[in-house]
Amino acid sequence: MKLVPRNLFFVVTLVAALFAAGCSRQSGEHLVLTGSSTIAPLATVLAERFEAAHPGVKVDVQAGGSARGVADVRQGLANIGMVSRALKADEGDLVADTIAQDGIAMIVHRDNPVAALTREQIIAIYTGKLRDWKAVGGTDAPITVVNKAEGRSTLELFLSHLKLEAPAIRADVVIGDNQQGIKTVAGNPQAIGYVSIGTAEYEAGRGTPVRLLPLDGVEPSTATVAAGRFPLSRPLNLVHRGELSGIARDFVAFARSPQVNDLVTGQYFVPPAVR
């Protein structure tokens, strides 16, 4: 039997181990993102492109609201949380990386003749003081108020902007994600809701019968968000605990890179000014 020199045996063993580790990294890594339904469609297309560049790596994107994203990261149930707002004062244990900018717009059915609402009118509608479209220049029909469920950052920002408390809202329909909001308003000519500008612009462009209303006199669009003029704008963040490593670090860097600007704008969001 021919003996293999000890140093050659060591080199062969080391190379085999490194090869096996590399194969394991490429074929067995699994990244979990949970949270904001606003970010989820963007995260999904980002994941598809990332997976294509990293054969064998699986990126699992689950919605459920920004509150879920924060909770899951803290509990170790997700590698990265999707949070469509800035971090709060009591979330200092988390790090946020902004991957896009978005706004929140009021939406009505495309056939609704009301072209705009004042801040006072929106407040009156959502607190139940104004219940008929005729009072704001529309048809003589009751208003169907669509509100977001607890735990959704869109709700938190909407309430904050209008200086309202959650118990003051008088909703007829409570929805979860943006798509539910779009579907509800599109299916009811008397409904009013509020959703991501990006989602609403995307759906309206596809022919979904919804229309975005100005807010504080400013047109809701990716252009006004990009210009910093829209009054109800927000960062879309990927959040995590401490320093990331491995595939999670690579994914966040990829999601923040200029090479995915086409995916960001394709979802009707605004790429962050500074990457």
Average pLDDT, consecutive stretches of 10 residues, N- to C-terminus, the chain (275 residues): 43 39 54 96 97 96 95 97 96 97 96 96 98 97 96 92 96 94 97 95 95 96 93 96 94 97 94 66
Rounded Cα–Cα distance for residues 139 and 100 (Å): 38
In single-letter form, the type of residue at position 234 comes to R
Domain co-membership, 59 together with 175? no
Give the other-Cβ count within 10 Å of 71's Cβ.
Answer: 17
Domain co-membership, 222 together with 180? yes
Cα-atom radius of gyration of the chain, to the nearest Å?
Answer: 23
Q: What is the CATH number of the domain that holds 67?
A: 3.40.190.10
Q: Are 248 and 78 in contact (CB under 8 A)?
A: no
Helix (H, G, I), strand (E, B) or coil at 202: helix
Q: Which domain holds residue 257?
A: 6-101+235-266
* pLDDT for the residue numbered 79: 97
Give the other-Cβ count within 10 Å of 37's Cβ.
Answer: 28
Domain-embedded: residue 51: yes
Cα within 13 Å of Cα(113), Cβ side: 9
Task: Name the β-bridge partners of 104.
Answer: 196
Domain co-membership, 182 together with 116? yes
Helix (H, G, I), strand (E, B) or coil at 150: coil
Domain-embedded: residue 1: no
Task: Name the β-bridge partners of 174.
Answer: 147
Looking at the structure of the chain, the number of domains it has is 2
* pLDDT for the residue numbered 272: 86
Domain co-membership, 155 together with 85? no
Rounded Cα–Cα distance for residues 191 and 146 (Å): 7
Domain co-membership, 110 together with 214? yes
Rounded Cα–Cα distance for residues 159 and 163 (Å): 6
* C-alpha distances out from residue 131 to 53, 127, 168, Å: 53, 9, 15
Domain co-membership, 109 together with 179? yes
In single-letter form, the type of residue at position 15 comes to V
* pLDDT for the residue numbered 28: 66
Q: Are 193 and 146 in contact (CB under 8 A)?
A: yes
Structural tokens at position 90: 């009591």
| CA 243 to mean position of chain CA atoms | 22
| Residue 101, φ and ψ in degrees, nearest 5 | -120, 145
Structural tokens at position 65: 């609201």
Task: Name the β-bridge partners of 192.
Answer: 108, 145
